[in-house]
């Protein structure tokens, strides 16, 4: 019963508080001195990204979203942000902020009475951390894939030279 209630609590946080989480993330991101370069992304775009990410995270918890859905979203997002010339280091740092914020929101929502509830919450936090790590992995792949495409199109470099510096196994290869 405790796990089932916990999962409902997670679903509630992710579905009913997604706008609040997005706003809090936006404020944190805009205030962070090391993330000022993200100012080129509009608030609306940041909120849309966060809302979509939280919806996929909810699907991850419910078992409705797996690696294909997560990969498609994050690879596509990585490509999109690369096209906008947003540095990948800033984006991954912003993901870390969002992961921490979601953890805080889960902790705010849950009643931590009893050992079973604490362990269930720890497992949920691990599960959501796995989601973000997987997301960052796919995001980086998408970003690098778009970088490869952009350099290939804009420079007269052979695939061998490109492969020497961009060694990743991209989806399109």
pLDDT for 2 beyond 60: no
Nearest Cα neighbor of 118 from 10, 1, 3 is 3
User: Does the structure show a pLDDT above 90 at 151?
Assistant: no
Residue 170: per-residue pLDDT: 60
More confident call, 90 vs 168: 90
- Supply the pLDDT for residue 173: 45
Cα 121 to Cα 7, 8, 16, 25, 140, distances in angstroms: 9, 12, 19, 22, 28
Which band of pLDDT confidence, cut at 50, 70 and 90, is reported for residue 12?
low
**Radius of gyration, alpha carbons of the chain:** 18
pLDDT category of residue 1 using cuts at 50, 70 and 90: very low
pLDDT at 50 > cutoff 90: yes
Dmax over Cα atoms in the chain, in whole Å?
A: 63
Rounded to whole angstroms, the Cα distance separating 92 from 88 reads 6
Instruction: Tell me the CATH number for domain 2-165.
Output: 1.10.490.70
């Amino acid at each position: 019963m405790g796990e089932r209630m916990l999962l409902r609590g997670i679903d509630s946080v992710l579905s009913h508080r997604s706008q609040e989480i997005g706003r809090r993330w936006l404020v944190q991101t805009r205030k962070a001195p090391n993330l000022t370069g993200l100012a080129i992304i509009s608030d609306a775009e940041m909120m849309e990204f966060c809302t979509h990410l939280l919806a996929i995270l909810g699907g991850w918890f419910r078992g409705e979203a797996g690696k294909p859905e997560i990969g498609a979203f994050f690879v596509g997002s990585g490509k999109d942000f690369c096209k906008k010339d947003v540095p990948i280091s800033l984006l991954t740092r912003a993901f870390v902020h969002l992961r921490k914020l979601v953890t805080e929101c889960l902790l705010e929502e849950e009643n931590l009475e009893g050992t079973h509830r604490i362990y269930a919450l720890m497992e949920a936090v691990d599960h959501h951390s796995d989601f973000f790590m997987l997301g960052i992995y796919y995001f980086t792949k998408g970003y690098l894939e778009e970088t490869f495409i952009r350099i290939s199109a804009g420079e007269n470099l052979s695939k061998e030279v490109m492969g020497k510096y961009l060694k990743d196994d991209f989806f399109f290869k």
